[in-house]
Amino acid sequence: MGYEREFKFALTQEQYEEVRANKEQLESSEEVYWNIYYDDPHGDLHSHGYTYRMSLIEDGKGGFCKPKMTFKGSKHKTDHGLHTCEEVEQYLTAPLTKDDFFLHYTLLLPDRHHTEPWKKIAHMADGHPYLYVIGSIKICRTKFNYCGFVIELDKVSYSSDTHDFELEVETHEPEIVYPQIVEFLKRHNIKPTPSRHGKLSRFWRFRKQHGMLPLFTW
């Protein structure tokens, strides 16, 4: 268990494409992954600021590698748009096929894997002995190594035709990294605009606007 410190900046599609077009200038890598979100039938975890998700990285063969469960506590915003929150991560057995996922992880039971966050989840879940999959988003991520830290450039897809874009940096040295990332953005003529909402909050907002959606679009 640890505490995640991150900067997130909202980008327009044009800004995203501008930064990504210059990725050859930096050491970079790309991956496509999915966030699968869980909650109880009433959405109690989200309403209290908690996130419980599975991340699945596409392996290029129709399956997934590095499946990981992540529990996040409520976020606290500090200077410069920096967010701090409690985080617990646990990697699951890999690789994972789509059939494996549907067989074992569409309902999440507290006595399987990742036991640490369940005390909080059981408290918030209002007596429900399991969590449902409530939906998923697709993230196309480009990572840059820049000045000793990693920049993550994301295209986040909520449906086949609805996307948003952000740039994220996780750091243990926010006072050192912040001016460097601001300078990076200014070099691309981007005004630093802190992202006001995380991916899960944006997912819920999209679902509220469009009603119930297919749980998966893969």
CATH code assigned at 38:
2.40.320.10
Report if residue 100 sits inside a domain.
yes
Of 60 and 75, more confident: 60
Confidence band (pLDDT; 50, 70, 90) for 1? low
Report if residue 141 sits inside a domain.
yes
Number of domains in the chain: 1
Tens of pLDDT, residues 32-62 = 999 999 988 788 888 888 899 999 999 999 9
**What's the pLDDT at 128?**
63
Tens of pLDDT, residues 79-97 = 655 566 678 888 888 899 9
Residues facing 85 on adjacent strands: 4
What SS3 state is found at 183?
helix
Report if residue 48 sits inside a domain.
yes
Report if residue 205 sits inside a domain.
yes
Angle at 148 between CA 143 and CA 151, to 5 degrees: 25
- On average, the pLDDT of the chain sits at 84
Neighbours of 113 (CB within 10 A): 15
Report if residue 216 sits inside a domain.
no
Report if residue 218 sits inside a domain.
no
| Segment among 10-19, 105-114, 143-152, 155-164 with least mean pLDDT | 105-114
Q: How many residues does the chain have?
A: 218
- Whole-model pTM? 0.86
Which of 67, 69, 71 has the alpha carbon at shortest distance from 49? 71
Its domain, for residue 22, covers 2-210
Report if residue 45 sits inside a domain.
yes
Report if residue 104 sits inside a domain.
yes
CA 155 centroid distance within chain? 11
